[in-house]
Amino acid sequence: MSPLCLDNLLPDYIKRFEAYIPSKPDPELVKLYGCRQLYRLNNNENPLGPPEAAREAIAEFPAPRAAVYPSGDAYYLRQKLAEKFNMEPDQFLVGNGANEVISFVIKAFCESGDNIITADKTFAVYEWVAEFSGFVASLVPLKNYEFDDQGMLDRIDDRTKILFICNPNNPTGTYWNTGRLRRFMDEINGSKIVVLDEAYFEFVEAEDYPNGLSLTREYPNLVIFRTFSKMYGLAGLRIGYLAGDLSVVDAIRRTCIVYSVNSLAQVAAVAALGADDHIVRTRSMVRQGKEFLKRELSRLGLTFVCHEGNFIMIKLPMSDTLAYRKLMTQGVMVRAMTSFRYPNHIRVTVSEMEAMQAFIDALEKILP
């Protein structure tokens, strides 16, 4: 066997980086924790699944097409997006989930010595991609569970290229309204790229929530992320996109991997886009679930953070990783929040009443 000199080969930032450990498949978890079924409340998935039109598109997908490469630039989906949002098809870039477009943006703008700015308690993939690509992720603490605009502005230096804002924020559900976002963009004044991650856009009911896409006309340095994983129930097919000013999207396209978005995901996404009734049904389920959870959690004397989005964060009088394991034995899977820097907190996806009741029953059993 020949020797292997990994130590010399790996950059320090890779040696330091700790890989994310995905959870096991449901059948394995059911065996491991000895539960009968499993309510998945850990990933903010839509329990109603994809819209009817997307289900049909998936069912009718001709198997022989699996042999043929997909459209390399999601041609029809970008046309449909352009039509729906009154923009140009070339203002959209589709990726293998919004997760993939995060790395497109970072690769396009950052070089050695550059940094990105985001919050300490938010979706962690911005930070991760920056770090395992060798860039510094500068983390500004949330303030009252919200992204701290002034704190982020104060953190900017000559080597800052991108600021990532999750709007509404996963896991706190807080958001910047239109006025606040405008003030922030006016301060930046085109000098940096600002990414607005709108993964939960379709869930937001607040009147003063900004429409990121239309603001890209005024602020060409603004880049918007959206996904089909949450509201549209297509998480398993992996498809999301970014949108922005033509010149910015043209630049980002250079780092984009052609053929990373499969054909089935593309046809399902095209079909899903028109399904406004699905959004109405899902929102009403989320509203009902949130009301129920707030009432029950208050009864149990627990504090929680619940704003926009299909999730709620709950503070527990015990370790979140212990709570996770105990809830698993009851057949309820939640997200332990230590990894989001919220020890003793869990995040729960707002779902149908049966699952919400099962969660509350399980919680009552495991609370000390």
Structure tokens at 73: 């630039």
Residue 109 makes CB contacts below 8 A (sequence gap 6+) with 161, 162, 193, 251
Least Å distance, CB 296 to ligand PLP, is 24
Contact 220, 188 (CB under 8 A): no
Least Å distance, CB 309 to ligand PLP, is 8
* Residue keyed to tokens 């020949």: 2
Least Å distance, CB 45 to ligand PLP, is 9
Least Å distance, CB 130 to ligand PLP, is 15
Amino acid at 25: P
Closer residue to ligand PLP in complex, CB, 46/227: 227
Contact 124, 170 (CB under 8 A): no
For residue 6, count other CB atoms closer than 10 A to its CB.
Answer: 8
Least Å distance, CB 174 to ligand PLP, is 13
For residue 215, count other CB atoms closer than 10 A to its CB.
Answer: 17
Closer residue to ligand PLP in complex, CB, 126/135: 126
Of 95, 116, 176, nearest in space to 142 by CA: 176
Burial class, 12, CB count within 10 angstroms (exposed 0-12 / middle 13-18 / buried 19+): exposed
Q: Work out the angle at residue 362's Cα, subtended by the Cα atoms of residues 357 and 366, and round it to the nearest 5 degrees.
A: 150
Closer residue to ligand PLP in complex, CB, 231/323: 231
Least Å distance, CB 224 to ligand PLP, is 12
Q: Give CA–CA dist 134/342, Å, rounded.
A: 25
Contact 348, 334 (CB under 8 A): yes
Closer residue to ligand PLP in complex, CB, 219/228: 228
For residue 66, count other CB atoms closer than 10 A to its CB.
Answer: 11
Closer residue to ligand PLP in complex, CB, 166/297: 166
Least Å distance, CB 311 to ligand PLP, is 9
Closer residue to ligand PLP in complex, CB, 42/229: 229
| Nearest-CB residue for ligand PLP | 97
Binding residues for ligand PLP (CB under 6 A): 44, 97-99, 123, 166, 170, 197, 199, 227, 229-230, 235, 240
Closer residue to ligand PLP in complex, CB, 261/360: 261
